[in-house]
Structure 1
């Protein structure tokens, strides 16, 4: 039986992904690492005009350098970005590649090949025009198979992060009554006792979310608790106990973060966190 090092690289990547899932890593993290390792393998196979490599051959430092250099120049990109298809890779995107490589070589029992991991950047905070482009994209594009209400909620959360300068945990406790889209001269949202004016785009996407939310809460028996961010579908049954209907509880912060990361990765190919939309200091 081949060892992980001598197994075919594609097989070893599949085994690694399964091991990550079994270890309890978050689903988006596991998928991203699998995607990056396949990108790495396909780059090396294409560059060296070969059909296969063992896992140990794949992770040789010179091959890793070739992949990281190509990725840094945007040559491995399969989707457009907010700054065009030929833009250099973002700092944290390259950091994710190095983290993935290090985790993979550790899985192979080759920790001596691990590379120094750069410190986190500024969270890849977006410039104002980039944030505007991302928010517009989130508002108008929905990947095939994505839940429409989740996509609208994610766009609304992102728009409020940009409009108010507050993070998702700070916006998590908002109620519907904190949003006044009929206020004149401009709509506002009240966060921690402070009114924040909303531009037309943010007000429009919030209105769409409130409409989607109303359709979800229409199925509730009794009064609507009034939470602004609610789950868009029932959770899983646990220990034989049925989950509460959407609308009876707030959507968890981790749920809002995961939905954002998933949608952004699907529509623009960059795993940006909501933090990236906060205004730069």
Structure 2
């Protein structure tokens, strides 16, 4: 092996890989997080050279250490798999660019089981749905509650996730609000769902009326101005809500409900969506 290949540090190899990494911002953040953790572990283990840190046995030792955290809490399977994916990509980069000749294929060392299928509880989802048809909890503005109620009813009716629901426009609702058209087709809505949409659309109209621009057309919009937690940018009222925004709103209102009824504290979006899948199975 050349002296250059032997002397290249795992830190330098990682920086070269990250400098040319393409992909979404979330992918880049995940790879940077995982590989910096690899660098830290390698240096602590006395494997600061890329040739040593990227050996299959060294990578396996790193993942094993992360599967059994020192604080005793169970490791995130998704986090371990993200580390393995990042290490696989880095090793392939180093091998394809001949930065460290002679590296062995780490495929077996990095193999990890698939993430377990998410568990859902339709009974919990049905209980939250019943609460979404009642009065709002203390401290939740009426318009925010109306949006939450309509969101929960559409989750239960369609079984669709936030990515699909966030794409909805007002025009995707039938004239009487008794059906909604998604990418996968048109879904009939129950009377409670229709009533929840009527209330939300009235609240939405009040927000739109105060806008200086035109109606954004999106079904879900912000009620109040707020700061984006990631960017710090102020988002004005009336701005369309993203899938992430819908999830955050769900969590915030659920927490307010849980303060009055702890039984809903752990109810998830997938628990409510399961109701829509049950209806599909019966059809």
The structure carrying a bigger helix percent of its residues is: 2
TM-score in terms of structure 2 length:
0.49
TM-score in terms of structure 1 length:
0.50
Flag the structure with larger Rg.
Answer: 2
